[in-house]
Structure 1
Amino acid sequence: MAKELNLNKLMLVTLAILMLSIGWPNHGYIAALEEEAHIEWSRILEGNHPLYKSVSGYAATATSDGGYVAVGDKYCETPDENCSYVVKLNSSGEILWEREMLYYDYDYEENTAFTVIETSDGSILVGGEIRDGSYGRPRFVPYVFRLSADGELLWQKYYPRMPYYQQSASNIQETSNGDFVITGGGWNEYSPSPAYLLKIDANGDELWSKTYPIGYSGMFSNIILTSDDGVIVAGSRTLEEYDRVALPYLLKINRNGEVVWQKTAETDSVTSTIVSSDDGNYILTRYNPSTQAYYLQKINEAGDILWNKSLNSSAMDEIESIIRTQPVDEGYVLFVQNKPSSIENGKSRYQIILLDENAVPTKKYQFGDLDLGLGKNGVTTYDQGLLVTGTVRINTGQGYRNEMHLLKISIPNEGPSNPELARLEFQQPELKLSVGQSAATVVNAVYSDASVTDVTYSSIYDSLDPSIASVDAFGNITGNSPGTTWIKAAYEGLETRIAVNVTDAKAPGRFYLDSEEYSLSIGTELDVAAYYVNDSGLPSKVTQDAVFSMDDPSIATIDEYGNIRGIRPGITHITATYNGATYRASVWVVRPYVYHQ
């Protein structure tokens, strides 16, 4: 069932996306002209079950006929359990058809849809997970079904061969000959759960399935097809059974599932979808936990880094996480979630940021209700905008239910100006470090129209005395011994420098949580403890004074006291802040074990 979204209810869902007319004050960025972006249409979908009307939206894709397909799950009237839900809309947002997916194997098998693509022949392929009771104890395995362009079921299959307690199909890539490469989350209770790939043909028959035991456990969170029908995947892994630290890594895998190259010494996670660039290379959005900064990275098919472009400008301070990055003409579009502090100051939960080719913000659009949950598969692009699919949790007065929200957003097509480069400058004139301490710097290119571009990752650095302070290729400066020296940055023929004073002063205090990774079941709660170690090395518990937020509250929520509650299966992250210090930890939510007699 669909209903029009009430644009007047700003506190429920903010759908009017307004251009920030004031720009970014005090930092020299061009002030954006006041402009109203066009919301072509919006829809709320609710279920038709007489008691449980919840519908959740997880993914969407644009189709070749100008329409859209969105998927998620709902509570079916028959057989009175959870099922995958698919809805096709035309370019105006009118529903053309809806489909509930029912699968019986001796008994009805509960299922959920997490991702959707349009295939080369115009049909619809959907991936998710399904309950499999054939081994006695119920578990969840990858589930894939194919529909015609008109919504008729062509086939549906699930893949139980790999020994995981819970495994899903949440990323799908089509090869040049019409096969499909699939990956997603995998989890076991008491044994390793390596990342996996599954390859099927056009009829859903398995061609091969392989696991990649690089470490104790892992998963591929991002995947993209390469020109030779292989894939580049980004994931995370733990090295030992009880490790709380998930380490990022990159792999290139050929069409037969064999590893071509691997980069397992990575420190910066890939936070958004991997996308193709116009020149046949690949754009990654990465996060550096040491500097707490995002940046864009271009790599080629061999995994070589071609460039890095920093997103760590003062204009990006509101970003909590980047959900999706998409190249466009002469730049990029970021779909991001705002920090809790920005939301508290009256900002919306999400924003769309337009970047020029140097990754400098040129325009920003705010939108989104505080209760609107979105994932990376919930944002799809078309020529002049975005289709957003997400879930809003509604308090009905008698309980809670989910509603699927669909928004079609138009973005004006305006290219950035090309002013002349006037000077280069560090954002701060000097830097004070203690021995062994590192700090990130920002180098700005100032143009003739007073606009500023962050060129930190595009500059070339040198230290006058590396024995006192050294600098890496990304502008991170490290104090090596007491003294004073200069760090120089060069960009497009211009130079600037910063004074660095290194002392033997004690390192500042440290803020951290009691774990770097939390795991809990749906419907259960887990408390988080926050600690601060002062300059003398004495720890104190500061949970009550810390501020907590969750990247994706549709997976898990966290209250002001640090109590986590599992909502649905998935992986998200906590951000904790105390006295200006920030700490992030991952949260894994799994389905509870259900005993059947």
Structure 2
Amino acid sequence: MIKSLFRSSSLWFMVLLIALSGFTGIPSLTKHSYAASSLEQTTMEWSKDYGNHSSGKGVIATSDGGYLLLGEIKEIGASGYLDSLAYIVKTDSIGNTEWETKINYSSNDQARNAVETKDGGYLVTGTITDYSGKPYSMLYMVKLDGSGSIQWQNTYDDPYYHNYSLSVIETEDGGFAVAGFGATSAGFYKAFALRTNILGEQLWFKKYWFGDDQDIYDIVQTPDGGFLAVGSITREYYEPVEIQNALLIIKLNEQGEIDWNKQYQDQTGTFLAHTLIPAKDGGYLIGYRKSSFGKVANMLAKIDANGSLVWENAYPSDYESGTRVYSQLLPAEYGYALIGANTNGVYPEVRRQYTALTIDDEGQVLSDYLYEGPSLYNLGEAAAASDGGFIVTSTIKHGDIYKAQLSKLPKPQEPAPPGERTLTQITFTESEKKLHKGDSASTVIQAVYSDGFMDTLSAAAQYQIADPSIAAVDSLGRITGIESGTTRLVANHQGLQATLPIIVLPGDSSEVEHPSFSLDSTEYSLAVGDKLDTRMYMYDDSTAKRTDITHLTTYISENPEIADYDQNGDLVGLKAGTTRIYAYYKESYVTATVQVVRPFTP
């Protein structure tokens, strides 16, 4: 729930934590070394900045070979305060500005997503803030022609909810579909999908409830004219349900009614899904991240048209060069690419660079890239470019000035022929697996090749349990405890074998519990000028002990212009907007969202 200094006037923005069960668990939290990690860094084709006091949130590639940058820019408004304007920049193929559009609809506006329309224009979605009463965020849609002139603009009212769009598509009939979530000031959020006609007139606006909190992060239209969406469910632990945190896959008909939904749960981890795209060979791919005990793994799963899991792969985040977190999945000439950032160093000497991992149609790694360039302040979205490369947006800091940035990443190299690499070893990433009777847990197999390249192949191996009365295993290597005892899991692939000891504990055993840590809230809200005392705690479930480790924690604000920590360790609201804080303890971290609003005057 939200931690706030005020109640009725608090606005806030959620971190999307997608919980997923049945999908693969966190791989071993040791350092992984891919062959490409030791190569020299790859040079970007070009990188250009746009505006002052600006930030880059989204980007699309346009049909003329250029790009459309989306974000926000701060300018002095009529009130004398800094207003936040939606910022849209059209560039040519090498980043030169062709036109820019700034939209000051409410003095607190942001452009987030866009799609090029069939008539050669652009449909842009984002949020504006309604200040007519208690401030709250509204969905905003604006239609631009090919020169950036506004053709129409609409807002979509949903009282008592602060609504945020996370995905937009143009439908086959020329209309639009938007998906995202709406948050209440009390700390609950619901998923939504909105459909409009070609003029932006609302056809339907559906809300979906499955638990305390839910969201939709991405949406695609299906061949039958309906929609497939991916999101999350979060339930409080006091709710009497089996599924707590779950990945939510929803099939909607043309009217936004639910045809079916599937919820994949996990008992220990939380997930953030960032992409849902059609797979080239049928079905769909979901890109997501799993966090467990402060560690992160990058994940990819394939589902069929009915939402059933076909395969899943895990990709490590820990490299010698830093921690890699991927935030978008894109189609590429040779399969797909996961695009994200590599972070290295300890605050305040933190360096963040673009990174890409290319994979084939089965999710197997082809190559990975780390790109030269100045350190990124934060990362926006990415898109596939017409020449086979990628365009990425971010925010970069020059002194005290923040700027939106576009960078062009070159086309990935053609993968080496299979004959040049020989599989030499397979091994489980854990030395043993412990689980409770009745619980399920995933395993991860790592492949080692003759050139030092390492990859995961959990979905490709064949599995067998030595004693099926103790545990069972499915085709993806997921173990289910049947009876207390010990046994072995044996995996075979291309004539090689790996063995993993399995220990099934009684249901009431606490042996597999691990200390974990968290902030005292996942969302904070405060007004400009107010302060919050944020706390960090370590929990040991085996002893039910909670330890305050605030004094051992390092805090970093993603945007210190909005909120930052003072010399006393208090979080201070500096300017209206949304940012995120990172709380580092040893080599791990947790995050929370911070919403800062202007002081409310009745």
Choose the corresponding residue for 1:331, options 328, 335, 339.
335
Q: CA deviation at 1:457?
A: 3.3
Provide the residue aligned with 1:156 in structure 2: 153
Give the whole-Å Cα distance in 2 for the aligned partners of 1:347 and 1:434: 38
Q: Distance in 1 between matches of 2:278 and 2:178?
A: 18
- Name the SS for the 2:68 alignment partner: strand
State the Cα deviation string for residues 195-231 of structure 1 (Å, max 9, x = none): 1111111111111111112223322122222223322
Pairing 1:130–2:128 present: yes
Retained in 2: the 8 A contact 1:544–1:561?
A: no
CA offsets, 1:547-583, max 9 Å, x none? 56678889876799986566775586856545x6x56
Q: CA deviation at 1:27?
A: 7.0
Give the Cα separation in 2 of the matches to 1:473 and 1:530. 38
Identify the residue that residue 177 of structure 1 maps to in structure 2: 173
Aligned to 2:367: 362
Q: Is the 8 A contact 2:489 2:502 kept in 1?
A: yes
Tell me if the contact between 1:531 and 1:543 (Cα under 8 Å) persists in the aligned partners.
no
Say if 1:308 and 1:458, in contact at 8 Å, map to a contact too: no
The within-5 A match list for 1:39-188 is: 39-47=44-52, 54-76=53-75, 79=78, 81-103=83-105, 110-134=108-132, 136-160=133-157, 162-188=158-184
Return the match for 1:215 from 211, 214, 217.
211
Q: What secondary structure sits across from 1:170 in the alignment? A: strand
- 2:286 aligned partner: 284
Q: Which amino acid aligns with 1:330?
A: Y
Q: Which amino acid aligns with 1:158?
A: T
Following TM superposition, by how much is the alpha carbon of 1:468 offset from its aligned partner in structure 2, in angstroms? 4.8
Q: Is 1:413 equivalent to 2:409 in the alignment?
A: no
Structure 1 gap segments, 5+ residues each = 1-24, 48-53
Following superposition, the deviation at residue 317 of structure 1 comes to 9.1
Amino acid at match of 1:124: Y
Which residue number in structure 2 is paired with residue 491 of structure 1?
493
1:256 matched to 2:255? The reply is yes
Q: Which amino acid aligns with 2:182?
A: G
SS of equivalent residue, structure 2 residue 65: coil
Match in the other structure for 1:385: 389
Cα displacement (A) at 1:458: 2.7
Provide the alpha-carbon RMSD of the alignment.
4.0
Provide the identity percentage: 27
Whole-angstrom CA distance in 2 between matches of 1:82 and 1:123: 24
Q: Distance in 1 between matches of 2:561 and 2:485?
A: 51
1:381, distance to aligned residue in structure 2 (A):
4.2
Cα offset for 1:531?
A: 1.6
Counterpart AA for 1:365: L
Does the 8 Å contact 2:463/2:475 carry over to 1? yes
- 2:550 pairs with 534, 543, 550, which one? 543
Q: Which amino acid aligns with 1:68?
A: Y
The size of the alignment, in residue pairs, is 552
Quote the Cα distance in structure 2 between the aligned partners of 1:472 and 1:552.
45
SS in 1 for 2:313: strand
TM-aligned CA deviation for residue 123 of structure 1: 0.5
- Unmatched tracts of structure 2, length 5 or more: 1-29
Q: More displaced, 522-531 or 93-102?
A: 522-531
- Give the superposition deviation at 1:148: 0.8
Change in CA separation of 1:355 and 1:564 when aligned onto 2, cut-off 3 Å: farther
| Cα gap change, 1:236 to 1:584, in 2 (>3 Å) | farther
TM-score (norm 1): 0.79
Between the aligned partners of 2:291 and 2:518, the Cα distance in structure 1 is 15
- Report if the CA contact (8 A) 2:487-2:501 is conserved: yes
Higher relative contact order (CA 8 A, sep 6+): 2
Distance in 2 (CA, whole Å) between partners of 1:402 and 1:215 is: 38
* 1:300 matched residue in structure 2: 304
For the structure 1 residues 122 and 92, does the alpha-carbon distance in structure 2 shift closer, same or farther, using more than 3 Å as the test? same
TM-score of the superposed pair, with normalisation by structure 2: 0.78
Report the secondary structure of 2:275's partner residue. coil
Aligned-pair distance for 1:496?
Answer: 3.1
User: Matches of 2:566 and 2:326 in 1, distance apart?
Assistant: 22
Contact 2:33 2:319 in 1 (8 A): no
Distance 1:394 1:563, change over 3 A: farther
Report the CA distance between 1:145 and its aligned residue.
Answer: 0.5
Q: Which shifted more, 59-68 or 456-465?
A: 456-465
Measured in 1, the distance between the counterparts of 2:596 and 2:544 equals 40
